[in-house]
Chains A and B, each alone.
Chain A
Amino acid sequence: QKEVEQNSGPLSVPEGAIASLNCTYSDRGSQSFFWYRQYSGKSPELIMFIYSNGDKEDGRFTAQLNKASQYVSLLIRDSQPSDSATYLCAVNTGGFKTIFGAGTRLFVKA
């Protein structure tokens, strides 16, 4: 089992819809959770981080964390074509290393 798992996609949603991106992790001791966005040919950029169970909202983005189920998700409301990118889930267990998932490709159709 991979340490951080994501569906590779592509996930295709129409413009204006809600895009839901999911991630599971294997280490129950994980403490910090991150979502990065990576456009084609560019480096990843941090979108959100979440530490506590529940929801955290920032603009059109909502991160959801469920430590009991070892599950973290990212919702993008009112999806725009400019949201089309690969979304990386990352998990830190408190040590030096943050484990990245392979990413989910999102396409938002105009």
Chain B
Amino acid sequence: GAVVSQHPSRVICKSGTSVKIECRSLDFQATTMFWYRQFPKQSLMLMATSNEGSKATYEQGVEKDKFLINHASLTLSTLTVTSAHPEDSSFYICSARGGARQETQYFGPGTRLLVL
């Protein structure tokens, strides 16, 4: 149980384009979903927290107009990187909490974004 999927696993795009990443909880309803970014050899950095049906809460320094988060249902959240630039290249990981152990976070496999 507690499986979280992400799609795509890897994406390469041109500078200026937008990229959408999907995060799904496959076998539980995720009351809260989180989006993280991780640069090579660095720690996880929380970008935003989202609850189903409400606006996401962004961490300080994260541009909400650049990183659009939609938590449309209890099993799906999307992160759209708008007008991507090379400095947005990173490993984006979602996690979800819910199900039997509400406080436990389960991570998706991550999406590696490369912006050329």
Binding site for B on A (CB under 8 A): 31-32, 34, 36, 41-46, 49, 88, 90, 92, 94, 96-98, 100, 102-103
Of B32, B43, B46, B104, which is within 8 A of A46 by CB? B104
A98 x B43 contact (CB < 8 A): no
B93 x A43 contact (CB < 8 A): yes
B103 x A92 contact (CB < 8 A): yes
Report Cα–Cα, A90/B44, bound state, in Å.
11
Of B46, B51, B104, which is within 8 A of A34 by CB? B104
Binding site for A on B (CB under 8 A): 2, 32, 43-44, 46, 49, 51, 91, 93, 97, 101, 103-110
B103 x A94 contact (CB < 8 A): yes
Nearest Cβ distance between residue A101 and chain B, in whole angstroms? 8
Query: Which residues from A are CB-within-8-Å of B109?
Result: 42-43
Shortest Cβ-Cβ A-B pairs, 8 listed: A43-B110, A102-B43, A43-B107, A32-B103, A43-B93, A92-B103, A44-B107, A43-B109
Closest to B92 in A: A43
Query: Which residues from A are CB-within-8-Å of B110?
Result: 42-43
Query: Which residues from B are CB-within-8-Å of A31?
Result: 103
A90 x B93 contact (CB < 8 A): no
B108 x A90 contact (CB < 8 A): no
Q: A49, A96, A100 — which one has the most chain B CB atoms within 10 A of its CB? A: A96
Report Cα–Cα, A90/B46, bound state, in Å.
13
Nearest Cβ distance between residue B24 and chain A, in whole angstroms? 14
A49 x B104 contact (CB < 8 A): yes
A46 x B106 contact (CB < 8 A): yes
Report Cα–Cα, A49/B102, bound state, in Å.
12
Report Cα–Cα, A32/B110, bound state, in Å.
24
